[in-house]
Structure 1
Amino acid sequence: MAGNLFGKLYRLSSFGESHGAAVGGVIDGCPAGIALSVEGIQQELNRRRPGQSDVSTPRYEADEVEILSGLFEGRTTGMPIAFIVWNKNQNSKDYTDLKELYRPSHADYSWQQKYGIRDYRGGGRSSAREHIARVVGGAVAKQILAGYGIGIYAYTSQVGGICLPCSYREIDIEKRETNIVRCPDEETAKRMIGLIREVKEAGDSVGGVVSCLIRGVMPGLGEPVFDRFQARLAQAVMSINATKGFEYGTGFSAAGMRGSEHNDPFVIRDGQVRTETNRSGGIQGGVTNGEDIYFRVAFKPVATIMREQETVNHRGEEITFEAQGRHDPCVVPRAVPVVEAMAAMVVLDMLLESRTVR
């Protein structure tokens, strides 16, 4: 169905459930002759996989990808790239008691109303485990974009009320993978880790923000009016589980500014037209202008908490329950590679569109 297909020219279709046999997908529209590293794809999956640390779910999955088609002697053939990742550590019995009730802020009730049936084991298709296919699609896209000098760098900029105290211009982006929360500032990371451990001990959860920087995108990507670059980007990242907000450039703070404060003056730098400031976030009129693209994505606290909660069951009875199973107290650190993946697929898709129409 259309809801499981992403992209226009570079397209990803995905399948699989959290407690099913496997998850996987098919990438179509990948150009032929691209040198593709399967090890590089696996590295991206390793960044997302569960069981990485004590601030993520204890469910352990190796998440080893198998490429089934579209790759020959290390290069893409131009044919569909099919891949699969087998589920090996499901504990479906943890969810047996949940099949008769609707968990607060989960997809249980809404999906039951839409489809008339739901897979209660770990949320089924509504589980963030479907992100595996996104990460593979994004990993392939990132390798292609690297050939154009385009890099995509996401990091944790907020957990709960703890915020990174500096802008993207002031951080060392290479330090984002030096700690388990993927925050490029060590002192802030320590505070974030402490908070996540605290809420985990209390049987609770906490939300946060993933910031992302895209460097090297040429001017001219984006299509008026409904396919503006930021519109496609917002749609992509807001399709990620647990997202609650998106902003780029100055975002919502622009609402409190004046035009004289917000405008980006044009200048000539190294013989090229550039902007002196970058409050636009690299996008003007829905089209990239060659500056760094930066945006932020807000994630809610994980809905499954280890505390008693009130809800209703299939029979319409109000009940109290306490969830079981293995869950992230904070989804943000593992969401970082997923945000990168979605951004990469958007950039590549729009780059291919640009090459097609010009």
Structure 2
Amino acid sequence: MSNTTIQAEREALIALAHAVEPGDARIGALIDEWGAVQVCERMRAGRLGLREQASMQARLARVDVEAELASAHAIGARIIDRTDREWPTQLDDLGAARPLVVWVLGAANLRLTALRSIAVVGARAATAYGEAICRDWCSVLAEHSFTVVSGGAYGIDAAAHRATLSAEGMTICVLASGVDTPYPRAHDALVARIADEGLVVSESPLGQEVRRQRFLTRNRLIAALTRATLVVEAAVRSGTTSTANAAMALNRPVLAVPGPVTSVMSGGCHKLIRDTDALLASRIEDVLEVIGELGEFSAPAPDRRSIDDLSPSQARILDAIPARGSININDLVMDSGLSAANVSGALAVLALRGFADEGPGGWRLAGRA
């Protein structure tokens, strides 16, 4: 496409983003078929054949693209569309329901920042247990250069953002409102800090307030933007589980943190683990193994000091070594009833596996003086 065509397509996408609700797959399918410019023209002419055509037409007539671009520039925001080099291509996995454009506050590059990212979501009415897990794990994720993506809500979302910022990591807040009208209002300062140190993203135009449906469409954006979704706490019926469902629909991994069986706020996590392909995450290493590059966070090797794999003779020699002090090999032969050759072989294995050490006074348990 020529620069003129690309610019026209960009302006049409921005205009349509003001005329339709986020995630409208019908409009997305028409754009895929005809292009945004053609859809705009047909919408203005009332020739789309959709039931909501009149209201869309009225909203489109009020859009001044140049004024919207100027408004975004005035608050330090930018509008990224599908033709932009900063566009995160993983959003295209949403197909016809992918965003038309997104508004972004923050200096970081959205595409690059989201390449190594994980969604951390959970209950608004989070428990102390859930918030503690969230803070600890997000700090580790930040240390390993993972971007933590969440929705800026009370509870787990806010804990995820704050913990990541405290660890000097990168976090993205995806809002269900415009980037200039964050919800909840009590988090204005938090969202402002995220804009300064991370990114604030929305597919709703400036000035737009939240609506119930926009929380759900926002959740599918969080799922699509990230490598995997970690559910820290969730009730059985909650918006958090919609994020998990959206991630699974995109074939992205979902991990859920188990909690007390008496906790209502862990009921949704338990249901995900029981009824879906969600993975149980009982430690941060479980998460890192899933979201890291191949071999980056390999499962730890079995403890070489485990006694389970010792042979009977090796276990007998280990039992014969005193808890304090040392014992020479002749005494081990006498105490164990084994031949000198068997004792020597067993000691070599015990030393190799970190159970025993040989010192000037004989053999002793590893780590003992």
TM-score, with length taken from structure 1: 0.24
- Higher normalized helix content (fraction of residues): 2
- Higher normalized strand content (fraction of residues): 1
TM-score, with length taken from structure 2: 0.24
